[in-house]
Amino acid sequence: MNLTISGHHLEVTPALREYVLTKLERVTRHFDQVVDVAVLLSVEKQKEKERRQKAEVNLHVKGKDIFVETSHEDLYAAIDQLMDKLDRQVVRHKDRSQDHQHTTHKRQDDVAWEAAS
């Protein structure tokens, strides 16, 4: 897994980097086919005060790119919300990509009939 954590108008401290890594472990626990992750943490100067801290992630998994962004007045809270959204999308992608083959009713009846014979 390639991981890139960058900051825009802020310095990515080791504490921020470690916080993002611990939160990403939850996503990789659900879905281990993550190819590439790019996290961008930024401070918007022009936005209203409540939504200045912005976190966004671009996650490349097998078969799809997932992009999520959130804004909050606290950067750690923005990262928490970001990982919650990302986790939901990764789980949804995993559910959709799994093989959902079911036998038809006719096929089940044939198998049951052969077993009874």
pLDDT for 94? 85
pTM of the model: 0.77
Residue 79 in contact with residue 19, Cβ under 8 Å?
Answer: yes
**pLDDT tens sequence across 3-23:** 999 999 899 999 999 999 999
What token pair was written down for 53?
A: 């801290």
Helices marked H in the chain: 14-30, 75-97, 105-116
CA angle, 90 then 21 then 49, to 5°: 85
Q: Is the pLDDT confidence value at 116 over 90? A: no
Helix or strand holding residue 103 (H, E):
none
As a whole number, mean pLDDT of residues 29-38 equals 84
pLDDT for 49? 66
Binning the chain into helix, strand and coil, the percentages to the nearest 5 are 45, 30, 25
**pLDDT tens sequence across 47-100:** 666 678 999 999 998 888 999 999 999 999 999 999 999 999 988 888 888 766
Domains and CATH numbers, the chain: 2-98 (3.30.160.100)
pLDDT for 8? 92
Confidence of residue 110 (pLDDT cuts 50, 70, 90): low
Residue 54 in contact with residue 42, Cβ under 8 Å?
Answer: yes
